[in-house]
A and B are shown apart, each in its own frame.
Chain A
């Protein structure tokens, strides 16, 4: 079953501060949307409004065409809150049963659902322990299990991989990817490689406004502008190389990174490429070109560009 989320002109303020400011976007079934932004950008507020925990102020959220203002869509949504609150004194199995019952899973299918979640989230060895005795990674898995216990069409995950070790992060990412093929998933994170690894689409939000929307590649293309190359040229005199590079007509600026290693960073003028002219220069002068690395604009830089002003 498909379930799209479409958000239009959503706003919410706390006192005088606008937490979410006129946000509009759509997420389709089978899509994993990564929600990026600095702390306090409005990610969690937006997610809480989708889950129905916070009331809407202005604008609307449509799930499958139905407004959350009038319809209770909680049964179709699985939610992992930011700090993953759990009942510490409950054993994992009992807690999952409690969540399943609250989400109105039919009584005769509850044991089955719990079994599947335990298997899916790798909780088998810890399933009889009290939640308070679990390590952070296992708590996070319990949080994911409770969010998915009723097999919701929509998953809202607020920082799902915090506190996990690198192996667990990979496992959880794989799990999310796998789920994302048939569900509508929105996840928020601070970890930039994570969005690249898991999400089909990235939404960067800053001070309550959307500042970028697209795949990692399109964001990179937008932000890249000029080509940047890191080159290493072995020549007797680094000043001569510097001057020669600078005089190339495709080059906008040259930076001497390391005198000893003779590394330079070359930025081309917009729209042009300097690979060939640098190579030809070296050939003409008899210099040895030992490295030429196109420098990829990192997602971190795009993020920093968009969210600091």
Chain B
């Protein structure tokens, strides 16, 4: 697994060299901060010492930001041909995909770490439910894991970054709300299936503080599926 880590380190470095990381961090913190503290149904409007509002906002901002991070991962390597250079070193498909995945996921983790002051602030002005907050963050991390996987899979399908971005959004939309809508407009076993596929459902139950193994399995298996499918696409499309 050492090569995966070497690739991840380089990729993370290039995020910070190319401004992608700064833009992403500023935009993410700006959006989520604005809607959490200043506008609409913000924390002061809800009048509750909880970060539920923030989790709801981050749920949407990450949905858009993650494809923007992942879109170049494989697509750009294909376009410039550097993928050939990488794969002729002692690197296999899995290590390549994992390296990319780790880099993107770590960038999201860094963004979330910068929101910890929200937690500290709210905890100092009221009686916050620590358990729910921790599981809310866990929910965001698991959701990010899934979207990073989907994003990298989309990126492995094409050599065009914009196409990769749009594909990731399209696949993401399915999980984000289309499956939920289908679940409520169908009935019986079909509704059950759509319900269990809907990412929003699983996210909601985790962010409310309910840790169910079913949800964990859901997030982990979709992330792994994304990774395996990316591997397959890279091995097939050279």
Q: Which residue numbers of A lie inside 8 Å of B, CB to CB?
A: 48, 51-54, 72, 74-75, 77, 79, 81, 83, 85-90, 98-99, 101-104, 146
- Give A48 to B86 CA distance when docked, in angstroms: 13
Q: Are A87 and B6 in contact (CB under 8 A)?
A: no
Closest 3 CB pairs of A and B: A85-B81, A102-B89, A85-B82
Q: What is the CB-to-nearest-CB distance from B164 to chain A, in angstroms, rounded to a whole number?
A: 18
Name A85's contact: one of B3, B7, B80 (CB within 8 Å).
Answer: B80
Q: Which residue numbers of B lie inside 8 Å of A, CB to CB?
A: 2-3, 6-7, 10, 14, 17-18, 80-82, 84-92, 238
Q: What is the CB-to-nearest-CB distance from A9 to chain B, in angstroms, rounded to a whole number?
A: 22
Secondary structure of the B contact surface, majority rule: helix
Neighbouring A residues of B90 by C-beta, 8 Å = 72, 74-75, 102-104
Q: Are B88 and A53 in contact (CB under 8 A)?
A: yes
Q: What are 25 residue pairs bridging A and B, where the CB atoms are less than 8 Å apart in the complex?
A: A51-B88, A52-B87, A52-B88, A53-B87, A53-B238, A72-B90, A74-B89, A74-B90, A79-B85, A81-B81, A81-B85, A83-B81, A85-B80, A85-B85, A86-B82, A86-B85, A87-B14, A87-B82, A89-B17, A102-B86, A102-B89, A102-B90, A103-B89, A104-B2, A146-B85
Q: Are A98 and B238 in contact (CB under 8 A)?
A: no
Neighbouring A residues of B85 by C-beta, 8 Å = 79, 81, 85-86, 146
Q: What is the CB-to-nearest-CB distance from B92 to chain A, in angstroms, rounded to a whole number?
A: 8
Name B84's contact: one of A85, A87, A88, A102 (CB within 8 Å).
Answer: A85
- Give A89 to B16 CA distance when docked, in angstroms: 11
Name B6's contact: one of A54, A75, A90, A98 (CB within 8 Å).
Answer: A98
Neighbouring A residues of B6 by C-beta, 8 Å = 98, 101-102
Given A51-B88, A77-B88, A87-B14, output 8 extra A-B contacts at Cβ < 8 Å. A53-B88, A79-B85, A79-B88, A85-B80, A85-B81, A89-B18, A90-B14, A102-B7
Neighbouring A residues of B3 by C-beta, 8 Å = 102
